[in-house]
Structure 1
Amino acid sequence: MKRRKTGRPTSSPEAIEHVSIDYAREVVAGDRIACRWVRLACERFLRDLERTDIRFDVAAADRAIGFMETFRHYKGQWAGTRMKLEAWQKFVVGNIFGWKWVDSGLRRFKYAHIEVPRKNGKTLLAAGISLYMLCADNEGGAEVYNAATKKDQAMILHRDARVLIEKSKDPDFRAAFAIRKNPPIIEYGAADSFMRPLGRDTEGDTTDGLNPHAVIADETHAWTKLGFWNVLNSALGARSQPLFLMITTAGHNMDSVGRSHSLIVQRILKGEDGGEGDDYFGIIFTIDEEDKERLDDPMVWAKANPLYGITVDEKKFRSQLALAKADPAINRELKTKWLNIWINQASLWLDSDKWAKGVHSYDKAKLDGLRCYGGLDLAITRDLSALVWVFPPQDWLERWTLLSHFWCPAADINTRSKRDKVPYQSWAENGFIVPTPGEVMDHGYITAQILADCQRYDVQAVGYDKTYAASLVNPLVEEGVNMLAFSQGIMTISPYAKELERLVIQGTHLNHFGHPVLAWNAGNVVVHMDANGNIKPDKKRSEERIDGIIASIMGLGCAIEMEYDGSLAGQWDCTVLS
């Protein structure tokens, strides 16, 4: 996919006129509100007009745009009116279908990643592109697949394409298709072509023998397994100018196909791909890093939503923002689906941006002699064990302070680093995890650390889960350590979990020194909530380890009970946008 430098452009860039060029120039000039990634996509477009190995075919771009504008809306206030692509949509279509290689005349872009919040017209746009690839791209026997993780999701895009045909005012156009509903398939007889939905949940008996001219992959933030994408991608090889189009909003799974390709696009737009992404078009509508501190600014909303004020309603946005300030779940929805910000799980509990603010560096030796409370979460045999010392505010210490220790069997460190791509090895090399010899946890290392820390700090108590810590407790009690069994029931944990959440949201009352393993744990936590609003970190639903957070909650609980007679617990008021 390296850039080729042969041939000559058909005309100078100054002589070319097109809506895509106008859009790019307006964004770069600052005449259109745009985030960094949209601006870089436009700069790339204008830069590429100077190249000699590719050319922008205005007629081809206009043909595709014109085709899509023959259809009619069938939902909402515009139902029955002709579709009119907005500027950002024309820019996308123009890029995909306008750029061609000079030497072959074939289209440049094989891949396209469109990342934009909901209600900005991406699904209808994708349906129009699907139909173009099916019947207007002069490809004999074209196979077009509307793909998603589940067939029901794939059917949404497929249904949009079907209704666009059925609502067409051109009887000859409608007559050119045979629409079948069981199984769902759209056939275009003139070219022996067809379109059908494809879900990963049905891949076992549907992916053999595919020969796609186009794959339209919907909501790739939900594609958690790469295998389905690989199968579809490998099947593109027989076509001369296929298209693999990915459309998505941001999501919560940082290992998803959507997130992976979002990062690919960012590397391409920053020029860090070494030319390998020359057949890849990408655009990402979101907000910039500095905008996260002013989420109540309509200019920020417009930056992420190219149809703000058209299909994205300002009143609805304000209402959603007000709800988000009082409900962390709605807040997460606002960030991912309305502002296109990737966060780390749909049920993410501790906001990563707020967590990152709890870093205050100083010599940890200053903590010597101060009162603290321990939380101990042990692995049964393998993986992580965590000890977190919680220092309440006292003397000169103004913030609640977490001091963390982690252990893992050496064999498991190697396995997890290779298999799961979690940087256990790097953490161990930098002292953030202590490897214990062999394949099972050696609790002697943990006992030694607790006893050493008792000599260094004024340890008041250590909370532990009695289910797994029995072998450790007796030796420590004999050494005079105050060991407190900490119930893991939701009624017990909830007030202290909410107190930790409050400290994270406040941002200025917590210091965890930026410990990377604890931060990773914090980003993994999914909570279970009962009917009364009590919460508890859920190890089964959390996709990765959360031991350090469990230990932090137990240590915090001990501190609250012994320092304040439990009076802090339950003082929960989530009125700050997390």
Structure 2
Amino acid sequence: MGLRGPGAKPALRTKTPAPLPLFGDAPGRDQAVSTGELPLVGETRAERLICWIERLIITSGALAGQPMRLDEWQKDIIRSLYETDENGLRFVRTGVVSMGRKNGKTGLASALALAHLCGPEAVKRGQVLSAAADRGQASIVFDEMIAFALEQPQLAARLVVRAYNKTVEDAVTGSVYKALSADARKAHGLSPTFAIADEVAQWRDRDLFDALKTGGGAHRESLLLGISTRSPDADNPLEELLRYGASVADGTFPDRTFKSFVWSAPMDADPWVEATWRMANPALGTFRSVEDIRSQAMQAMRVPSQEAAFRAYTLNQPVTSDVRFLRPDDWDACAGEAEAAGPCYCGLDLASGASDLTAFSFYWPETGKLTVKAFLPSELVDVKQSEDHAPYREWLSAGLIEAIPGRAIDRAWLLMWVAQAIEGLDVVAIGLDRWNLKDLEAVADREGISLPLSPVGMGYASQSPAITAFETAVLQGTLQHGGNPLLRWAVSNAALDADPAGNRKLSKQRARGRIDPLVASVVAVGLAASEPAEEELFFDVIAL
């Protein structure tokens, strides 16, 4: 690696593999320089990058010394990440790759890092970063990248490697690579053109990831790539990213700047058969050992305490004890429109914090129509959008969210909105947490507002019947929510707690994100279900 310290020099090797093209005048171009580098082959930017990577030399394992050959699934990742618009510019800014361990995630990421440092994706004075939970993990990408470079004399000759602080500088482009441990403070002030978030499931929080993402905002083609296998602890940044990726993939959050690539075995698949292993291990049969996974599976079968780790690390499953709510297919089947007719029941879920999301729902049991409106303080919409990782601005424009003036949920303003919204409707009751009832009644009295407020318990005994009623309406297809994306998001975030008697309630502590629109909806449907049916009167004529 050359000398260490401030006076470090580029390292050289004498082995001469197929030459690699160096930096051209723009990213992704296939311009060769005067030292005899071969031009890159490919009609697209992604194909030229693939060509460049496949001239790197594998440095360890059974294939050491051979050119790197990408599997088709690896090429598909590159093609998707490096797709360009009509101006030839990359539009993906964030990518997430998740699969079982030992499938070559780090090797691919290291090759991409090298390409952004001194290859076809390099820019003048770029910043290439890799970050991990600890210093040891952070050095893995560094070591792999340097090993690639040292097999190519023309690359080694231009790189200044400083192993003592895990940095590399390219003498041609002026670009710098640096390895970071997961401390967000170290990322502030940096402006990465390309960054790797390595094993992000092991990170304590999203602070560093978000710092890397915002730091790249100064560049029109910055790319942040998260690579990770899942963790047995489901409370980690990777799960947030995968949930967002799933919402992008199914159209809930249209976002062409975000791409996720996930290989994971379904929770209901048999974990002990090879067909299931292949779902989470795309390299199985090429450079991922079937025998190794078979050995792990046998141990996990015999030692139950190892099953969670096997499911997380090998099958890449989201291991959690939480009980989730509704299946997406069942929910989406109820996306029809219905008429707002007959008696109406409403639900109100007030924010636990003065500035958090609040929701109000309307439910017409005769037709099954369900609508919901959410509320946020107007001055904090962008802050809450960032905190909750939800497209609040988009939903605000679509009329799904109302902005309450100020920096807090003004309860008087909210009750006035409710009074106007229910005017002309046959509203039977507005259910809300009994602990908020007195406060709201006082506000209503002060403002001269009359509302049919009805206290609702939020414990197991009170919530369980409401949840059952809501679930039944969805499964029987009698509820129609009109495809509301705000409500779909809340449903996808929901988790249930259960007591020893089997009673259930929605858990805000274990939820994946905000569930307030769902809580308000469950309250409304539960109220309607608990309302006694009208009794017909029968008169017996008694002959005297």
Match of 1:125 in 2: 107
Kept after mapping to 2: 8 A contact 1:117/1:338: yes
Deviations 1:455-480 (A, max 9, x none): x36x3x5432122222545879x999
- One-letter amino acid of the structure 1 residue matched with residue 370 of structure 2: L
- One-letter amino acid of the structure 2 residue matched with residue 468 of structure 1: N
Match of 1:362 in 2: 338
Deviations 1:313-336 (A, max 9, x none): 7999xx9xxxxxxxxxx9xx99x9
Kept after mapping to 1: 8 A contact 2:419/2:451: no
Distance 1:376 1:121, change over 3 A: same
Shift of 1:6: 9.6
Shift of 1:117: 2.6
Shift of 1:435: 5.8
Is residue 422 of structure 2 the alignment partner of residue 420 of structure 1? Answer: no
Kept after mapping to 2: 8 A contact 1:71/1:82: no
Match of 1:388 in 2: 361
Is residue 364 of structure 2 the alignment partner of residue 375 of structure 1? Answer: no
% identical aligned pairs: 20
Shift of 1:246: 4.7
Deviations 1:411-459 (A, max 9, x none): x235415762766566566554456667623223324545643xx36x3
Distance 1:215 1:2, change over 3 A: closer
Is residue 434 of structure 2 the alignment partner of residue 466 of structure 1? Answer: yes
Shift of 1:187: 10
- One-letter amino acid of the structure 2 residue matched with residue 122 of structure 1: G
Deviations 1:391-412 (A, max 9, x none): 44x6xx5xxx253353647xx2
- The 2-side partners of 1:252 and 1:354 are apart by 22
- The 1-side partners of 2:145 and 2:27 are apart by 37
Distance 1:243 1:206, change over 3 A: closer
Is residue 456 of structure 2 the alignment partner of residue 486 of structure 1? Answer: yes
- The runs of 5 or more residues in structure 2 that have no matched partner are 1-24, 34-38, 81-89, 152-160, 170-175, 231-237, 298-307, 534-544
Shift of 1:385: 4.2
- One-letter amino acid of the structure 2 residue matched with residue 227 of structure 1: A
- The 2-side partners of 1:134 and 1:526 are apart by 41
Match of 1:88 in 2: 72
Is residue 524 of structure 2 the alignment partner of residue 555 of structure 1? Answer: yes
Is residue 364 of structure 2 the alignment partner of residue 404 of structure 1? Answer: no
Is residue 212 of structure 2 the alignment partner of residue 228 of structure 1? Answer: yes
Match of 2:488 in 1: 519
Question: What aligned pairs does 1:528-539 form with structure 2 within 5 A after superposition?
Answer: 528=497, 535-539=504-508
- One-letter amino acid of the structure 1 residue matched with residue 336 of structure 2: H
Kept after mapping to 2: 8 A contact 1:233/1:244: no
Is residue 455 of structure 2 the alignment partner of residue 496 of structure 1? Answer: no
Shift of 1:121: 0.8
- The 2-side partners of 1:213 and 1:385 are apart by 38
Name which of structure 1's ranges 462-471 and 517-526 shifts more when overlaid on structure 2.
517-526
Is residue 116 of structure 2 the alignment partner of residue 147 of structure 1? Answer: no
Other structure's SS at 1:510 match: coil
Distance 1:492 1:87, change over 3 A: same
Distance 1:508 1:295, change over 3 A: farther
Distance 1:159 1:364, change over 3 A: same
Shift of 1:120: 6.4
Distance 1:531 1:309, change over 3 A: farther
Distance 1:135 1:451, change over 3 A: closer
Other structure's SS at 2:483 match: coil
Match of 1:71 in 2: 60
Other structure's SS at 2:373 match: strand
Match of 1:48 in 2: 44
1:253 aligned residue (217, 225, 240): 240
Other structure's SS at 1:420 match: helix
Shift of 1:487: 1.8
Distance 1:389 1:158, change over 3 A: same
Match of 1:13 in 2: none
Other structure's SS at 1:463 match: strand
Distance 1:522 1:384, change over 3 A: same
- The 2-side partners of 1:423 and 1:259 are apart by 14
Distance 1:110 1:129, change over 3 A: farther
Distance 1:403 1:127, change over 3 A: closer
Kept after mapping to 2: 8 A contact 1:179/1:187: yes
Deviations 1:279-304 (A, max 9, x none): xxx894669xxxx9x999x9999688
Other structure's SS at 2:458 match: coil
Other structure's SS at 2:361 match: strand
Question: What aligned pairs does 1:110-259 form with structure 2 within 5 A after superposition?
Answer: 115-119=97-101, 121-126=103-108, 129=111, 146-148=130-132, 150-151=133-134, 155-156=136-137, 158=139, 197-201=179-183, 203-204=184-185, 215-219=195-199, 223=206, 225-231=209-215, 246-248=226-228, 251-253=238-240
- One-letter amino acid of the structure 1 residue matched with residue 240 of structure 2: N
Distance 1:312 1:507, change over 3 A: farther
- The 2-side partners of 1:498 and 1:155 are apart by 49
Shift of 1:556: 3.2
The alignment's C-alpha RMSD in Å is 6.8
Distance 1:244 1:262, change over 3 A: farther
- One-letter amino acid of the structure 2 residue matched with residue 403 of structure 1: L
Kept after mapping to 2: 8 A contact 1:537/1:550: yes
- The 2-side partners of 1:388 and 1:339 are apart by 34
Other structure's SS at 2:338 match: coil
Kept after mapping to 2: 8 A contact 1:146/1:155: no
Shift of 1:549: 1.5
Shift of 1:71: 0.7
Distance 1:122 1:479, change over 3 A: same
Match of 1:105 in 2: none
Shift of 1:338: 5.1
- One-letter amino acid of the structure 2 residue matched with residue 88 of structure 1: E
Shift of 1:511: 1.7
- The 1-side partners of 2:355 and 2:187 are apart by 40
- The 2-side partners of 1:431 and 1:451 are apart by 19
Match of 1:576 in 2: none
Question: What aligned pairs does 1:11-22 form with structure 2 within 5 A after superposition?
Answer: none
Kept after mapping to 2: 8 A contact 1:406/1:434: yes
Distance 1:353 1:313, change over 3 A: farther
Kept after mapping to 2: 8 A contact 1:349/1:527: yes
